[in-house]
């Protein structure tokens, strides 16, 4: 009940969190007041994420089992509190926005894949731009370059014209490569599943037609048998009547 009730508030908090994170990066000239408000929004959204996790933990029947199954959720809530790991906050946004979509991946694979890919590309571009902008001789210095780098990296093309030079940027690159391979695997598996389902449906349709023909033939055979039985019943008395007369 709690998870269903919190679905939209969590999604709204994730969108506000992402907007507050992206604004100072996309607009470096943003004043001090604007940056403070963005920081306040990110922390408020962070509090909503933490509250959701805490309530789910409280309502869990087996808390130890809940912690084991949701260890990733705990890590992406706790670790970004360390300033050096603040980029992990974007992972929380991805996790919140995709938590429900992943439950029905097969039925909504196109929407999920396109949405997840766009979100990952956008977040990775923000993260790498935030890490690379202040680096000397960095090839990635504006958002279009960052988006181009994200697209070439997630598709595992890697032209090499844009690349991160900082440690944080390279960590983002590794995560983006893994995400690209995972998305490719999802698309491939879903396509294979769709093809198998189509072949199975065609086979089932053929079997249904065959069964229908067999049922029709069975009905015809039964009708012929009934007709034959009626004819035999009519012939039998006629054949026995002369015999009875002769005996008399």
CA 199, 200, 206 angle in degrees (round to 5)? 90
For 160, phi then psi, to 5°, come to 90, 0
Q: How far apart are CA 48 and CA 124, in angstroms?
A: 23
Which residues are CB-contacts of 164 (< 8 A; sequence separation ≥ 6)?
128, 131, 132, 138, 140, 149, 170, 172, 173
Say yes or no to pLDDT of 44 above 50: yes
Residue 100 has a pLDDT of 52
Rounded distance between C-alpha atoms, residue 55 and residue 130, angstroms: 33
Residue of higher predicted confidence among 110 and 42: 42
pLDDT value, residue 37? 93
- How many CB atoms lie under 10 A from the CB of residue 2? 11
Please return the burial class of 17, using the count of CB atoms within 10 Å of its CB with bins 0-12, 13-18 and 19+: buried
Report d(CA 237, CA 235) in Å as an integer.
Answer: 6
The pLDDT confidence band at residue 148, using thresholds 50, 70 and 90, is very high
Q: Let me know how long the chain is.
A: 248
The per-residue pLDDT for range 181-220, each reduced to its tens digit, is 877 777 777 777 777 877 777 667 677 767 777 878 888 8
Rounded to whole angstroms, the Cα distance separating 122 from 143 reads 10
pLDDT (0 to 100) of residue 147: 92
State which of 2-11, 122-131, 175-184 shows the largest mean pLDDT.
122-131
Q: Given this model, what pLDDT does residue 179 score?
A: 82
pLDDT score recorded for residue 85: 47
Question: What pLDDT is attached to residue 146?
Answer: 92
Q: What is the mean pLDDT of residues 64-73?
A: 80
The residue assigned the tokens 């087996």 is 62
Mean pLDDT for the chain overall: 77
Q: How far apart are CA 143 and CA 37, in angstroms?
A: 22
> What's the sign of the alpha-carbon dihedral 43, 145, 112, 173?
negative
Model-level pTM? 0.62
H or E element: which one contains 116?
A: helix 109-132
The pLDDT of residue 103 is above 60 = no
Contact 111, 186 (CB under 8 A): no
What pLDDT digit, counting tens, does each position of 17-34 carry?
888 888 888 888 888 899
Report CA-CA distances (Å) from 122 to 19, 29, 119.
11, 20, 5
Supply the pLDDT for residue 161.
83
């Amino acid at each position: 009940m709690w998870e269903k009730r919190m679905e939209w508030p969590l999604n709204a908090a994730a969108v506000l969190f992402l907007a507050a994170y992206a604004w100072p990066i996309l607009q470096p000239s943003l004043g001090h007041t604007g940056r403070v408000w963005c920081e306040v929004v990110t922390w408020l959204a962070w509090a909503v994420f933490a509250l959701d996790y805490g309530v789910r933990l409280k309502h869990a029947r087996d808390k130890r089992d809940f912690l084991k199954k949701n260890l990733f959720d705990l890590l992406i809530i706790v670790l970004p509190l360390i300033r050096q790991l603040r980029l992990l906050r974007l992972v929380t946004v991805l996790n919140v926005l995709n938590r429900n979509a992943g439950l029905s991946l097969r039925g909504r694979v196109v929407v999920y894949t396109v949405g997840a890919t766009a979100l990952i590309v956008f977040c990775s571009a923000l993260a790498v731009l935030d890490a690379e902008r202040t680096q000397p001789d960095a090839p990635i210095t504006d958002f279009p370059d960052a988006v181009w780098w994200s697209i070439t990296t997630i598709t595992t093309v890697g032209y090499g014209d844009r690349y991160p030079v900082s440690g944080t940027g390279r960590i983002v690159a590794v995560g983006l490569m893994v995400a690209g391979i995972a998305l490719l695997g999802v698309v491939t598996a879903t396509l294979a599943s769709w093809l198998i389902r189509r072949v199975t449906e065609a086979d089932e349709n053929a079997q249904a037609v065959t069964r229908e023909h067999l049922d029709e033939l069975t009905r015809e055979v039964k009708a012929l048998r009934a007709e034959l039985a009626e004819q035999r019943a009519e012939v039998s008395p006629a054949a026995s009547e002369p015999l009875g007369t002769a005996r008399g």
